[in-house]
Amino acid sequence: MKTEELAQSAKKASRRLALLTAAEKNRALIEMAEALARRSAEILVENAKDVAEGRKKGLTPALIDRLLLDEERLRGIASSLRDIAALPDPVGEIVAGWRTAEGLEIERVRVPFGVIAVVYEARPNVTVDAAALCLKTGNAVILRGGSDAYRSNRILAEVITGAAMEAGLPGESIQFMADKDRASLIDLLHMRDQVDLVIPRGGEALKDFLLEHSKVPVIYAAGGNCHVYVDETADLKQALDITVNAKCQRPGVCNAAETLLVHEAVAPDFMAAVTKGLQERDVKLYVDAPTRALAGDTLAPLVDATEEHYATEFLDLQMAIKVVASLDEAVEHIARYGTGHSEAIVTRDLDAARRFARAVDAAVIFVNASTRFTDGGVFGLGAEIGISTQKLHARGPLALKELTSVKYVVTGEGHVR
């Protein structure tokens, strides 16, 4: 199907989706979950082909981890569909209501956007998450996944689209762009009459490409150059656990920490332990001179940190470390290199925590907790389509409510002006 025909059919489907009841949408989500379970063997065969090709291409272990599906992960994806089905439907929610002096009844009501194009990289779970969240909010979705996960995305889209149709939804509700040509994507990004919103799910390069080429509004869920700052009053055991978790628990995701900042007052007591703890987990470290001097004997050579290291979202078992003289210097470093995603402070000083939370410009601020908690499901919002690092119209996890707009419904009794 040509890109224009695909977008037009999605637009037509969106008008039907906007009228569905919550029960109808939830039934489709349950059908999709059951279909994933029934056809898991087929899905895993296609995913294995993508993974094998990715290894041949030399994808890093962290990127392979993002690409990989197994029985447990498929069960998790199916479970997230059921979780979304159990959440309240935001469509039709009256956000506010009031009566004017003239007697008009005004309601501000949540409504679908219409058609959402989701452009993402090697994360096959996004195929299902994006489709489910859009369906629940009455939006048609156009899925444009990365080439590294092409087979996985194609089979997942086929399975969930078939299930949605069995539940009575229009098949055009979920559109998979099979064309890998970048020109087709650019064509889609120019279709303002058919597409209402574009959401990228990937790194800064993808975000920048879409912002450059799109004539459709973009909410970017993009890269995360995230930091952990260990303050002078930090509990150093907490600081070690948080740093290791934020870096190592799943290094290939956007809420993994990429740089560790340590206050000079605690660096002598902390640096040897944290460098050892990270290197025991095979993390390659890029360090400044004070860190090198305080690290002592290390399990692997330390590399001198450069500007590029501090600016890099590694998405891998690599981390930059810097000693700072104050909280203000940490804030300045984050302002210079951060991407506005997730930032953490470890401190026992309430005033320092408050200053950090107010001064750092990011979607999510953590006090004495790992950056790995930035997640719509963890926040109790259900699955999310990504983490928005911008400020309009939504910031942080893009969950159900963030995938709706509003309209005003005004009721009178023959009022004229």
For 339-396, the pLDDT digits (tens) are 999 999 999 999 999 999 999 999 999 999 999 999 988 998 877 888 999 888 899 9
Query: What is the pLDDT at residue 323?
Result: 98
Q: How far apart are CA 233 and CA 235, in angstroms?
A: 7
| Domains, the chain, with CATH or none | 3-221+385-411 (3.40.605.10), 226-373 (3.40.309.10)
Query: What is the pLDDT at residue 376?
Result: 87
Pairing mode, strands 105-112 and 94-99: antiparallel
User: 146-177 pLDDT, tens per residue?
Assistant: 999 999 999 999 999 999 999 999 999 999 99
Q: With a threshold of 0.95, does the pTM exceed it?
A: no
Query: What is the pLDDT at residue 222?
Result: 66
Query: What is the pLDDT at residue 375?
Result: 92
Phi, psi of 171 (to 5 degrees): -60, -25
Strand order from edge to edge, sheet including 226-230:
303-304, 284-287, 318-324, 257-263, 226-230, 342-346, 364-367
Query: What is the pLDDT at residue 201?
Result: 86
Of residues 326, 340, 306, the one with CA closest to residue 227: 340
Average pLDDT per run of 10 along the chain, which is 417 residues long?
A: 93 97 97 97 97 94 90 95 94 97 97 97 91 97 95 97 96 93 94 96 86 93 89 98 97 94 98 98 98 95 97 95 98 97 98 98 98 92 85 90 96 96
